[in-house]
Structure 1
């Protein structure tokens, strides 16, 4: 679709959240699990007290957050309110993850299988809770399927046949992506061939597989919250190298895999490191003898991997030519407090004002449309009604100087492959963040 400078941005948030108030999931849960669900509900206060004790939850902040945003937060499960909030932010469409409430966990999916989805959950209860959320989410996104891609919860460490069946059921119900645990704990890790039917089913149905930050071995941290926040983005990223080096991407070229709400600051150095390992003396055979990798890691990344880079930072945008512009999918994190809502328009201006318009269009929406299957023609009238323009973001109509300021970084790209010097120029770069070849 050809666009001019004056055209508003088609913005797609690759990371938003929705979920019912937890007790309202009961009608979506098989009746044989209602007793266990009652026990789960009874433990909510104890879990909240534990969060407060560990510093994850702050009572004063929670009170202020809910007081200041009472109406907007209803958009976590009220569709009419949600559309109002998306329109206010200029967001035409969204990818919908679980757990609308990230402060008090009042919208947690049954049995904690939302953002805390992990391999240490009871397989039967975990699948039951996931199915309950998926049933509700399918109804929710059906209100306006052009604007929502619902992410089905998938406890992939359960019985593989049941997992594959849930993939097909979720697809048939109108959901468009799959969230798997970032931690398998004592279950089989993701290089195990037992999961091949799952990856095949995801590829067959065209449903991207995504991990999301949240789960972590919190019992190891004590009350040292700094340890948790220092590595919380590592856990959802970890499956990437398990899938890559074990040949999953080679065996399933139609599989798309993404990492959500974990930033993308970690990817350039990781990619540099993995490419250098593979391209070294017979590195591919030494490092992955059974996988028969046929290309460097960066090629698999460009073909099959993306990052839902929520609240993308200036430092990360400075590294976009190493990451790959089309691999960065912006997200607002609505309605979580660490996201850009309800100030997305101002945030976009302060972050993207000196990024080329063509690249901005890719990162803010067009790349996500391709990954998650949004119909840009159906979204175009919405974007023209609510989307900010390049001028609104402070981007000049004459892009000559902007393009020139990034020319060296763009030409160098992945310096370990092009042989260029490590780029340190560009208005958003600041201190060099990479490692020289």
Structure 2
């Protein structure tokens, strides 16, 4: 019997397969950052907002001082760091909304193309989208105001990306928990305006959880439009934390991951095989153990025999992951790269997080050398660029001149021209792959830095 999925999706390599033959190992890297940020200074969104929301927008702006004071009180804003950050990077930070300056900063980092999320300012939130629907997007916003703020940002973002469309993929904001017809209409409008992906709330608040069938028209519209759906770290139940910032930092990457298992176990990827779903700026260190656990449940581990957790699923979780899911693993860590054969090399998309201070900008080239110096060149090319180009629909041929002009070479990352020793060092881990599927012993691969 033929595989019904082969008619609707592109088959992907098994994560433990060796990489295919690629370009000359000495060629510069095509780097695509899967996680960057842009946004206007908040007050400048007014022309993009329907007139009937202007009074509510004035009220939102009036509350900024109180919100910033609360951030300082909770320790979210370090005054000394903030002052130094803005003084030292004043020119580069204008790239958060100035296309010419942005091109200069991307070139300096060696980044040929980028995926553009909201909120350029991650220190003072001075570029927050109207009504708080940027990285703090949750399911609790007033549906009408939330969609109005999202449309305002999406209109501006479409103009911004159009200044250099081959290098920018704009991520439209999509407050998912409102009226379904309105949400679907915004998917089509954003696509028509040239945006390429959708960011949905990591939390649904009082709205319906993402296993609810009411969202099926949205998933279908996203798949039909070829727009990946993503969550991004930022939203969290901050009212529960008091002044204990460590709780927030510990949990903030968990909330955007949570929709993944809601979608997978409820059969969303079964019903919508063309849907692509990504988790951004939440690392990928959590994924191997999660995948191991879910696969074992599906494949009949003793602890799950009394349950029926996979009704309606025709494939084990790892197959849905490899076909439908990717992780924008911003600032990918050495520990995560050591786990890449369990995660799936093609499932890891690197990001610089420009222009946020927790990202690699403006020292991306050195960061890449510190992190990828002993990773095989063929795999580095996938993680740093070609996988993201495929997921987000970038034209690699049109980006090639940028890569030749600004991309770092393997030699500049400290990767040897003769890759035989590097490939041999990683062969046991690659052959073991997902050890619960291959039956091989788990290899202990040395990792020297976090």
Whether these two folds match at TM > 0.5 is yes
Judge conservation of contact 1:284–1:293 (CA < 8 Å) in 2. no
How far apart are 1:281 and its partner, in Å? 6.1
**Structural mapping, 1:346-361, within 5 Å:** 346-361=366-381
What is aligned with 2:62? 42
Judge conservation of contact 1:152–1:176 (CA < 8 Å) in 2. yes
Does 2:367 correspond to 1:367?
no
Q: Deviations over 1:232-284 (max 9, x none)?
A: 10000000000000000000000000000000000000000000001016969
Judge conservation of contact 2:32–2:389 (CA < 8 Å) in 1. yes
Distance 1:318 1:429, change over 3 A: farther
TM superposition score normalised by structure 2: 0.94
How far apart are 1:2 and its partner, in Å? 4.1
How far apart are 1:423 and its partner, in Å? 1.6
Does 2:85 correspond to 1:65?
yes
Does 2:424 correspond to 1:404?
yes
Find the partner of 1:418 among 434, 438, 441: 438
Distance 1:124 1:399 in 2: 56
Judge conservation of contact 1:318–1:429 (CA < 8 Å) in 2. no
What is aligned with 2:413? 393
How far apart are 1:286 and its partner, in Å? 3.8
Judge conservation of contact 1:237–1:259 (CA < 8 Å) in 2. yes
Find the partner of 2:447 among 422, 428, 431: 428
Judge conservation of contact 2:22–2:378 (CA < 8 Å) in 1. no
Distance 1:252 1:335 in 2: 34
Judge conservation of contact 1:321–1:414 (CA < 8 Å) in 2. yes
Judge conservation of contact 1:21–1:106 (CA < 8 Å) in 2. yes
Does 2:129 correspond to 1:105?
no
Question: Match of 2:159, SS?
Answer: helix
Distance 2:154 2:247 in 1: 32
What is aligned with 2:317? 297
Does 2:366 correspond to 1:336?
no
Find the partner of 2:194 among 153, 156, 174: 174
Distance 1:72 1:214 in 2: 23
Does 2:215 correspond to 1:195?
yes
Distance 1:2 1:16 in 2: 27
Q: CA RMSD, aligned part only?
A: 1.4
Judge conservation of contact 1:278–1:284 (CA < 8 Å) in 2. no
How far apart are 1:422 and its partner, in Å? 1.1
Judge conservation of contact 2:150–2:174 (CA < 8 Å) in 1. yes
Distance 1:392 1:242, change over 3 A: same
Find the partner of 1:246 among 266, 280, 295: 266
Question: Match of 1:64, SS?
Answer: helix
Distance 1:244 1:404 in 2: 35
**Structural mapping, 1:124-143, within 5 Å:** 124-143=144-163
How far apart are 1:60 and its partner, in Å? 1.2
How far apart are 1:58 and its partner, in Å? 1.0
Q: How many residues align?
A: 429
Does 2:174 correspond to 1:147?
no
Does 2:342 correspond to 1:322?
yes
Judge conservation of contact 1:146–1:374 (CA < 8 Å) in 2. yes
Question: Match of 1:235, SS?
Answer: coil
How far apart are 1:6 and its partner, in Å? 1.5
**Structural mapping, 1:266-281, within 5 Å:** 266-280=286-300
What is aligned with 1:161? 181
Distance 2:81 2:52 in 1: 38
Find the partner of 1:377 among 378, 385, 397: 397
Greater relative contact order (CA < 8 Å, ≥ 6 in sequence): 2
